[in-house]
Amino acid sequence: MNILDKIVIDKRKEVHLRKGIIPIRQLEHSVLFDRPTYSLAKNLRDSNSGIIAEHKRRSPSKSVINQNLNVQDIASGYENAGVCGMSVLTDTKYFGGALDDLLLARASCSIPLLRKEFIIDTYQILEAKAYGADVVLLIAAILTRAEIKEFSEFAKHINLDVLLEVHNEEELHKSIMPSLDMLGVNNRNLKTFEVNLETSKTLSKLIPDDFVKVSESGISSIEAIKELQPYGYKGFLIGENFMKTDNPGRSATEFIKTLEG
């Protein structure tokens, strides 16, 4: 069993428990549920840098990345840096995140927020909306085509952008449908955790131009982005690179200045 399988088993238990504690009705009546959302897809299309910066305390592959900073400072720092959006990891057991991180980020910035989570139920999409997210991540590796369709259409119905993540050609073919805004290629092999940018290059030719192309994982340098831009990528998810510094906002500012300079 690989790490993804373990995460999904735990996630099913967790979502079952959460549903028993907070009913759907309560989520739909939350203060943030009816707020107008920001479009990450639009921001990426209009941007020269395309940076989506992440808030990530730890990960299964790297253990602790940064436990010392508060989400509010990071969110306002990223916004000042001019990022296109912010990815907020809400998984607790494996990544040290929380839904409250989303609330705190939302209170501190006016940029699109992506709930980065292992979504296996529409309940989590309602949670994302209720806690201030603008975008949800769907992971093709853990969903059937029918689930991708159901979840993406549901997200669009409540005005959320959808970023769908694939790792290989097979996942890409089962996933392409009109209810997606962005197609993300994860360069990390989830079985070995090895990273290879060639994955993004190879799959780029197979992604229709209607979707905003996003490259994820292993992007830590300006060179990597410049290498991928000719393949049509408009978005670049940067996880650990900024978070492993004392001031992620400042790191993002310097990175974007150099990239656009």
Determine how β-strand 63-64 pairs with β-strand 58-59: antiparallel
What pLDDT is recorded for position 59?
Answer: 83
What pLDDT is recorded for position 215?
Answer: 98
Closest of 124, 115, 91, 144 to residue 40, by C-alpha:
115
| Residues belonging to the chain | 261
Distances in whole angstroms, Cα of residue 235 to Cα of each of 36, 210, 212, 238: 22, 14, 7, 10
**What is this structure's pTM?**
0.96
The rounded distance, in Å, linking the Cα atoms of 58 and 15 is 21
What pLDDT is recorded for position 63?
Answer: 74
Among candidate residues 43, 49, 108, 116, the one labeled active-site is 116
Clarify whether 28 is annotated catalytic: no
Closest of 199, 172, 204, 203 to residue 188, by C-alpha:
199
The domains of the chain, with CATH numbers, are 3-260 (3.20.20.70)
Q: What's the average pLDDT block by block, 10 residues per block, for the chain (261 residues)?
A: 90 98 98 97 96 91 77 97 98 95 98 98 98 98 98 98 97 97 92 87 96 94 95 94 94 96 84
What pLDDT is recorded for position 254?
Answer: 97
Among candidate residues 79, 165, 171, 240, the one labeled active-site is 165
Q: What's CA 25's distance to the chain center, in Å?
A: 26
Clarify whether 200 is annotated catalytic: no
Q: What sign does the dihedral 157-158-159-163 (CA atoms) show?
A: negative
Which of helix, strand or coil describes residue 54?
Answer: strand
What pLDDT is recorded for position 104?
Answer: 97
Clarify whether 116 is annotated catalytic: yes
Clarify whether 216 is annotated catalytic: yes
Clarify whether 165 is annotated catalytic: yes
Q: What is the DSSP letter of 68?
A: S
Among candidate residues 11, 56, 213, 234, the one labeled active-site is 56
Counting residues of the chain whose pLDDT is more than 70, the rounded percentage is 99
In 20-125, the DSSP E strands lie at 51-55, 58-59, 63-64, 85-89, 113-116
